[in-house]
Homo-oligomer: A and B are copies of this chain.
């Protein structure tokens, strides 16, 4: 039996919001723009069948404290406190049905469902306002089902949460046909079901067991509760909406507001709209639950559902002051915006769900986050012409960084927080080529041909300033490093994946980039550029093949004598396969990568003792998003059988009690989420379905 004690996102699309639930205690709740769960108590409870005034609730809260002591310092007023009457359903008594869009808990006579379909977000430029409004409505649907058919008496049922915002208190919503509770104008839960009442107090008992039901809400409390009574002998299903709302400036640097502000002027409108579409939302969720799991094993269906949820909780559709849309994926606990080395991993999922968002991201990289540099050999201050690249990200925590700069990259370093100039150049080149080739958006790619030419020139320069000495692989570092060294997306890994120069992972990725832009150039009739790119691809192929050692593996850093061996050597294959390249043209390299992977994919080299994949033989640091990606490549391109033992290990990592609080996490140090927690990048798992 796998644990069901894990947090998962339950999010609208593009609202950077999440009802996070599932981990024991006050460890979830209604989070807005947060780096982790909101750590709020969340209540769904039902009166016990045989004890009036006693309740059992899902265990997403801690036992209540008595907060009256701050007001009643001499303790004369014990009369104000209520005895705790709400116990947790035991975890043993709870079952959980977890899919990508529906998460259902059952315990005793209570069922609780959170329903979050992920509608396609229409390209705002195409103007289908109604579809866009529905897609980005920042609401989430809940259902509570009470089976009181075997009871001889009416029982109370309640739902609510305690807000954790430090500015705005919790209020009662009683307008626009709604009854609800909310924190300021930012978060709320409401219903239109007849018979519900709303209360605010320090503890749910003050509302559901109120000694004076005619009391007005005690707004000093921070716990908002909705409740009603289910008659004896009856079954009832109640619907609720969770709403999120941010009114004003959403981001600085580039001033924006949330795109949904075009359609909604208040959280009450959001709540009403969500409830009005309940039937469609449930139907959509059902269809998507099936399609997101289609053909997957139980372990993979679980991981994919979990990853999709964490991705959507990080999405944010903004509107710039000129009315244009701006799509952001926030980087989980780090909250960096549109980190380009995540964009390339999320590419496959975004192209499936909302292809225009890829274009939107790539356009903004060109518009604002491109830069030109000079480059230098290690240990040599001579500056050679470099060329175009792109910043690591576009900012962090709602602040867009200045043009040409990320929030992350700093000069003077050789490790974490150094520049990723070469890798981001490859990432933009690959993403734009894949987008253009996959979507056949000819006018867009044609509009980018000068940028792609500049990318090619920049890649050539970074290989070697002297054309005669080029080998297809990155050999120089950006002068932005001030004598430091460029790193890769595996920023906190040891040199095996941390160093960009001569890195095998980047070499294969660079080879793929050359081949992709060669094809784009060919399609654009730019024969000479296409030939140049293809020639570089051949050089890269030769360099990589020359690095094969007698045991059939290739070292992590080409030509530097490192012992490390890498799984991500194979990453580059995926982009070519994805757009339908005939890989038989590159059979020697593909075969060499296959042999490499076969050789390293064993315990003690690139597998942990539990069978989980270990990206580098010399580090315990592993990224699940990249494992999923490499699994798909191994199976779909290199002909490996699915590694069920590894899947089981990866599921166990995510469900480890030390990790399960963070929903889906990426970076695992020997199976413990140590960074990149609460993270959007896991949707590389979408490749399992193709």
Contacts and interface: CB of A to CB of B under 8 A. Distances in A.
A168 B72 contact: no
A426 to B, nearest CB: 22
Nearest to A173: B252
Interface in A19-70: 32-35, 68, 70
Interface residues of A, number: 73
Contact of A247 (B77, B248, B397, B405): B248
A212 B619 contact: no
A396 B169 contact: yes
Given A401-B216, A410-B212, A621 B73 contact: yes
Contact of A252 (B185, B215, B220, B335): B185
Interface string A651-690: 0000000000000000101000011000000000000000
A219 interface: yes
Given A171-B253, A249-B185, A492 B74 contact: yes
Contacts of A335: 169
A415 B252 contact: no
A172 B402 CA distance: 9
A414 to B, nearest CB: 7
Contacts of A220: 334, 336, 396, 407-408
A492 B76 CA distance: 7
Given A334-B220, A492-B71, A416 B76 contact: yes
Number of identical protomers: 2
A494 interface: yes
A218 interface: yes
A98 B512 CA distance: 68
B411 A212 contact: yes
B74 A491 contact: no
Contact of A399 (B72, B74, B184): B184
Contacts of A77: 413-417, 492
Contacts of A71: 334, 416-417, 491-492, 675
A206 B66 CA distance: 44
A536 B172 CA distance: 42
Interface string A479-515: 0001000000001111000100000000000000000
A71 B491 CA distance: 8
Contacts of A494: 74, 76
Interface in A129-174: 166-172
A395 interface: yes
Contacts of A412: 79, 211-212, 215
Contacts of A211: 412
A168 B619 CA distance: 34
A549 interface: no
A675 B405 CA distance: 48
Contacts of A498: 76
Interface in A162-219: 166-172, 184-185, 211-212, 214-219
Contacts of A492: 71-74, 76-77
Contacts of A33: 167-168
A444 interface: no
B667 A218 contact: no
Contacts of A249: 184-185, 247
Contacts of A669: 73-74
B415 A482 contact: no
A625 interface: no
A80 interface: yes
Given A167-B32, A169-B398, A184 B416 contact: no
A626 to B, nearest CB: 15
Contacts of A34: 166-167
A47 B184 CA distance: 44
Contacts of A35: 166
Given A71-B675, A211-B412, A219 B493 contact: no
Interface in A213-267: 214-220, 247-249, 252-253
Given A72-B415, A214-B482, 8 more contacts: A35-B166, A68-B416, A73-B667, A80-B417, A171-B399, A185-B248, A218-B408, A219-B395
15 contacts: A72-B492, A74-B669, A76-B415, A76-B498, A77-B417, A80-B413, A169-B397, A185-B249, A185-B252, A215-B410, A216-B401, A217-B401, A220-B336, A220-B396, A247-B248
